[in-house]
Amino acid sequence: MQRIGDAPAVRRGLIGAALVLSALFLLLPLVAIFAQAFAQGVGIFWSNVSDHYTLAAIGLTLVITVLTIPVCLGFGVALAWLVTRFSFPGRRLLQTLIDIPFAVSPVVAGLIYLLLYGRNGWIGGWLDAHDIQLMFAWPGILMVTIFVTCPFVARELIPLMQAQGSREEEAAVTLGASGATIFRRVTLPNIRWALLYGVILTNARAVGEFGAVSVVSGAIRGQTNTLPLHLEQLYQDYNTVGAFASAALLALIALFTLAAKAGLEWRAARREA
Amino acid sequence: MGIRLSQIAKTYGRPGTPRALEPIDLEIASGELVGLLGPSGSGKTTLLRIIAGLEQPDRAPAGTLHFGSRDVTEVHVRDRRIGFVFQHYALFKHMTVFDNVAFGLTVQPRSQRPSSGEIRARVHQLLEMVQLERFAKRYPAELSGGQQQRVSLARALALRPEVLLLDEPFGALDAKVRQDLRRWLRHLHDELNFTSVFVTHDQEEALELSDRVVVMSNGRIEQIDAPARLYRAPANRFVFEFLGDVNRLEGEVRDGVLTCGEARLAVELPEGPQELLLRPHELSLDAAPGAAAHLPMTVTAVVPVGAEVRLELAADWLAEPWLATIGHGDFERLDVKRGQRLYALPQRWHRFGAEGQPAAKPSLA
């Protein structure tokens, strides 16, 4: 017997189309990045990667990412806890507000920050008077990166914590456990995979963020250039190999992230089986 | 330790919305096993959770809750020292059975925490009590529902609470396991002598297990009584209808005879419209009408259920069909078949006034 829509011709056609489209739109560009990066040999690739400005951009990107993750982690856990464990007016509104960074174009986000914290901005004027510079410096880059990435952890946790309910926590509290103990011994073990997954997504986005960062960074070479901005500059300067060398680095980070995500999903599936 | 509630009320959401729990007074004696029985939405689980401290009662009216002589109204759940058993067990999924049972002991403040040797001994004693010693290293997902509920009981008893609260403890289990666990809980209760309150929507469970049953509906207590009295002397119509199947007979009384279509029943009641309620087992059936009762009906369904036979009876003078449960002896003597015409002979009937209060209910000769 054959199920509906399972005729050999249909099946071959669909699988074929999926494979061709994946190869064209996903695999080929990835291959092209590495081909371009190594087009003039490993030596040229290496000299581009170890270039002073490239190293500075890599360093800044890593620092921003390392600072962003704990902030997003804390924010995400606290928000998910608040939204799923308490009932208060405006709870639904808050759940919608979490999505603003996803809904708003990153460039717009960057502009908003510039308007608020820039020298002529509402808060920026006061900051300037106190000799604090946020925009066109690394704190600004950090702020917009956090803005753009803050929903990931919360979005991963909220559905899970909603589905799990608070019964295990209630059981723990009737057994005399303190709030901190409950979090450490009951809540955290139940959400750890979703938490890690959220961190991986946050990491991927923080490393690759371009739009919002490009508005507030000022793109000063060696100072406020992140890797994606540096890449763009190299490309504008007709340094194709340099640009693609940076692109290859970003692609490598992305591939590593995907591998980590697949590994986590595989572990989670095995635990459930 | 006894439990005393006075004017405990609960409103979910804004003040002014209908209360989930009307102000309630309730006293539970030390060592008693009390069942909270009611349909869903009757407030029974809310009441249990307030006793546990998982829900806060309303500020106005300011009710109080005492465990023995200790006022626990403002005491946090953590410090009430109760054992709580959840409907779906709420075991810690990522911990072994041993760690689940040990949890309450290991989270105690360092000064009160038993040594790890003592904890091990206590947990093994509890697991022995619930007959799950062999499963100490298993995870909850590897156990059956009945086993999980026993782990959850052992976990709740680890701190030797004087009050054990159970929220529909057997609701998610199949009938046979439920029977066994009920008997086993009764035994445990008698042995360890704690005060227990459990919530159920199953009349049979409440009647079988409890010393006293609290029947609730719409956030109110309808009746508090021993199971036998509850069934024989229901305080009102709600209790009567909730505790079992009910047959209704409506008609006009004139000269001591209630008439409804071709049906007639001799009653000692004032003239006018009356409504009588009858239990299915308080009816017998015969091939001929009796002296006091002429209630002709047609058998529409025959369902043998174990020790008795359940019959569905219809008649054109009845709005809804009646149920009758008869023994296998009568069943064979009358040779009951579907479509057969029989006469109902009520042994007893019940009547409730307009307010739902019980009115005189004489037995029939």
Q: Report yes or no: B221 and B26 within 8 Å, Cβ to Cβ.
A: yes
Closest-approach residue (CA) in chain A for B88: A167
Phi, psi dihedrals of residue B201, rounded to the nearest 5°: -110, 10
| Total length of chain A | 273
Nearest CA in chain B to A170: B54
CA distances from B186 to A118, B48, B183, B205 (A): 72, 19, 5, 11
Residues in chain A with pLDDT values less than 70: 1-2, 271-273
Chain-chain contact of A186 with B159 (C-beta, under 8 angstroms): no
Among the listed residues A252, A247, A190, A267, the one whose alpha carbon sits nearest the alpha carbon of residue A39: A247
Which pLDDT does position B355 carry in this prediction? Answer: 62
Using the CB atoms, write b or e for B230-255: b if 16+ within 10 Å: bbeebbbbbbbebbeebbebebebee
Q: What confidence score (pLDDT) does residue B363 get?
A: 47
ipTM, interface predicted TM-score of the complex: 0.81
CB contact under 8 A, B155 and A171: yes
Q: Is A189 on the interface with B (CB under 8 A)?
A: yes
Predicted confidence at residue A2, as pLDDT, reads 66
Q: Would you say B65 and B57 are in contact if contact means Cβ atoms under 8 Å apart?
A: yes
Chain B residues within 8 Å of chain A (Cβ atoms)? 52, 54, 77-84, 86, 88, 90-94, 103-104, 107-108, 152, 155-156, 158-159
Closest chain A residue to B158, measured at CA: A175
Write out pLDDT tens, residues B77-95.
Answer: 999 999 999 988 999 999 9
Amino acid at B1: M
Task: Map tokens 């697991």 to a residue.
Answer: B127
Tokens of A68: 């962003």
CB-CB under 8 Å, B88 with A167: yes
Taking a C-beta distance cutoff of 8 angstroms, is the pair A205, B110 a contact?
no
- pLDDT band (50, 70, 90) for residue B170: confident
CB-based contact, A172 to chain B, within 8 Å:
yes
Closest CB to B90 among A170, A178, A185: A170
pTM of the model: 0.80
Give me the count of residues in chain B: 365
Q: Is the dihedral of CA A124, A128, A132, A135 positive or negative?
A: positive
How high is the pLDDT of residue B365? 38
Candidates A172, A115, A7, A50; CA nearest to B158 is A172
B94 vs A190: CB contact, 8 Å cut-off?
yes
Q: How many CA atoms does the CB half-sphere of A106 hold within 13 Å?
A: 20
Q: Is the pLDDT of residue B361 over 60?
A: no
Residues B316-346 have pLDDT tens digits of 888 889 999 988 888 888 888 888 899 999 8
Instruction: State how far the Cα of A72 lies from the Cα of A170, in Å rounded to an integer.
Output: 27
Distance from C-alpha of B138 to C-alpha of A241, rounded to nearest angstrom = 57
Type of residue found at B110: R
For residue B354, the model assigns a pLDDT of 64
Q: For chain B, where are the E strands, in sequence order?
A: 3-10, 21-28, 33-37, 64-67, 70-71, 82-85, 163-167, 195-200, 212-217, 220-225, 247-254, 257-260, 263-266, 272-278, 283-286, 293-294, 296-305, 308-314, 322-327, 341-346
Model confidence at B297, in pLDDT bands (50, 70, 90)?
very high
pLDDT at B261: 86
| pLDDT grade for B312, boundaries at 50, 70 and 90 | very high
A178 alpha carbon, distance to own chain's centre: 33
Top pLDDT among A153 and B15 is at A153
Mean pLDDT value of segment B205-217: 93
Q: Measured between CB atoms, which of B88, B94, B159 is closest to A175?
A: B159
